Amino acid sequence: MYVIIAYDVNVARVNRVKKFLRKHLNWVQNSVFEGELTKADFEEVKLGLNEIIDREEDMVVFYILRSEKALKKEVLGFD
């Protein structure tokens, strides 16, 4: 599956979240990661993030597609 993760977390946890996600996905920009994950890897990512974030203060959004081919992406800038 192809996963895009966007997050808004307290500044005290930003570096932990970013460091954790870099082990599994490609960093796109400040609070966005994307890449292919197996179902098992996706569950591992969710569990890992759940241990890092404070669900009362932080939010992580997962966009899940069948594959990267199902994604139409347009980017402006950094040509």
Backbone angles phi, psi at 30, to 5 degrees: -30, -55
Q: Whole-angstrom distance between the N-terminal and C-terminal Cα of the chain?
A: 28
Block means of pLDDT (10 residues each) for the chain, 79 residues, are 96 97 96 96 97 96 88 77
Backbone angles phi, psi at 28, to 5 degrees: -95, -50
pTM for this predicted structure: 0.88
Residues in the chain: 79
Instruction: Please tell me the predicted confidence (pLDDT) of residue 79.
Output: 60
